[in-house]
Chains A and B, each alone.
Chain A
Amino acid sequence: MILESTNNNQQSTINNNMSKTKNWPLWEIFVRSKNGLEHRHFGSLHAADADMALENARDVYTRRNEGVSIWVVESKNITASNPEHNGEMFEPAQDKVYRHPTFYELPDEVKHM
């Protein structure tokens, strides 16, 4: 799916389209694969409300034993960065290697870094 930047005008366009086609709203699904790991974005699906989104997510994304916990959030509640601003947003970080923690050794006990 494409996340639109959510200024108010675009927001209303999205909602208008929805009511025209009678589609259920879109939900983003986050699944925790096992205890100790973080929830990761797995995909998106349609549902009429949060409860249905949870049930649908259970059936669509965890039927092969992929998860132990599910979060759902309606897609319209996500504010996304605008790709047009990628230059000012992300490029300044490209030449700053010293921000990577590569100049000291991590102990073996530290996992998931």
Chain B
Amino acid sequence: MKQNLYNYILGIADNSLILGQRMGALTGHGPSLETDIACTNISLDLFGQVRSYYQYAAKVAGDKRTEDDIAMLRHEREYLNVLLVEQPDTDFAYTMGRQFLFDVYHFLFLTELQKSKDLTLSAIATKSLKEVSYHQRFSTDWIKRLGDGTEESNKRMQTAIDDLWTYTDELFHQTDADKEMVAEGIGVDVTTLKEAYYQKVADVLQESTLTIPESKYFQKGGKQGIHTEHMGYLLAELQYMQRAYPNMEW
């Protein structure tokens, strides 16, 4: 099995799975009917992408594992998503802040992944890009609305951005699998996305009358499977049915 390729696919897919789980968990709990459905739609887009990635990962693994096994039956340390996407929905500002800070990265990443020599990854990237363009538009609109809204909404949006900022740098860290895949022309060199990312984020924050955080203290670990304390609870909910009723199917 091509271990590097397998890990590389999971590194991409797990971001969408965990963020999709976060957004999906808002079903019925959104701040309004309309935003509730919007969050669920984003979740379903991400789960759709996740299926394509895990189906491919299962093929690369070449053993008996299916896409569902890969999604549902790993332990916490085996999930390779960045810490940003597992952060909780403290309030709607956090939900949109998390989405925005990931969407900007996601869009830049998929744009590059389209050029991958791996035709499956390139095809998934092209298909996902339209969805992610909309996610980015949606979350960017909300950052502007809340940032440039009332005194209260500005304060809460700023708090969310300040708190989540510490998880942004990890997006541009390279794992061993990353480096190997970049060398083979399959992977995206994420370090090259950093400048465009912070430029775009700064532009939006400025337009939203929000302050760009100056903190240089950043958290990392997700890409190595070392997660924040929120991850266990998230996985417990995600995996509950498969753990309680193994091999259960709908």
Q: A24-B32, A46-B32, A55-B138 are in contact. Are A60 and B37 (CB under 8 A)?
A: yes
Q: Is the CB of A55 within 8 A of B37?
A: no
B80 to A: closest C-beta gap in Å:
30
Return chain A residues, CB-CB under 8 Å to B32.
24, 46
Return chain B residues, CB-CB under 8 Å to A24.
32
B115 to A: closest C-beta gap in Å:
29
Chain B residues within 8 Å of chain A by Cβ, number: 11
Q: How many A-B residue pairs have CB under 8 A?
A: 28
Distance A45 CA – B145 CA, assembled complex (angstroms):
18
With CB as the reference atom, state the residue of chain A lying closest to B145. Answer: A48
Q: Is the CB of A59 within 8 A of B38?
A: yes
Return chain A residues, CB-CB under 8 Å to B37.
56, 59-60, 63
Distance A63 CA – B40 CA, assembled complex (angstroms):
11
A83 to B: closest C-beta gap in Å:
27
Q: A59-B38, A59-B41 are in contact. Are A45 and B33 (CB under 8 A)?
A: yes
The answer, yes or no, to whether B141 is at the interface (CB within 8 Å) is yes
**Bitwise interface map of A from 45 to 83 toward B, beta carbon under 8 Å scored 1, else 0:** 111100110011001100100000000000000000000
With CB as the reference atom, state the residue of chain A lying closest to B39. Answer: A59
Interface residues of B in 157-210 (CB under 8 A from A): none
The answer, yes or no, to whether B34 is at the interface (CB within 8 Å) is yes
Return chain A residues, CB-CB under 8 Å to B38.
55-56, 59
Return chain A residues, CB-CB under 8 Å to B35.
56
Q: Is the CB of A45 within 8 A of B34?
A: yes
Return chain A residues, CB-CB under 8 Å to B137.
55
Complex A-B, nearest 9 residue pairs according to Cβ-Cβ distance, in ascending order: A56-B34, A59-B38, A59-B37, A59-B41, A45-B34, A60-B37, A63-B41, A60-B34, A55-B138
Binding site for A on B (CB under 8 A): 32-35, 37-38, 41, 137-138, 141, 145
Binding site for B on A (CB under 8 A): 24, 45-48, 51-52, 55-56, 59-60, 63
Q: List 23 A-B contacts (CB under 8 A).
A: A45-B33, A45-B34, A46-B32, A46-B33, A46-B34, A47-B34, A48-B145, A51-B141, A52-B141, A55-B38, A55-B137, A55-B138, A55-B141, A56-B34, A56-B35, A59-B34, A59-B37, A59-B38, A59-B41, A60-B33, A60-B37, A63-B37, A63-B41
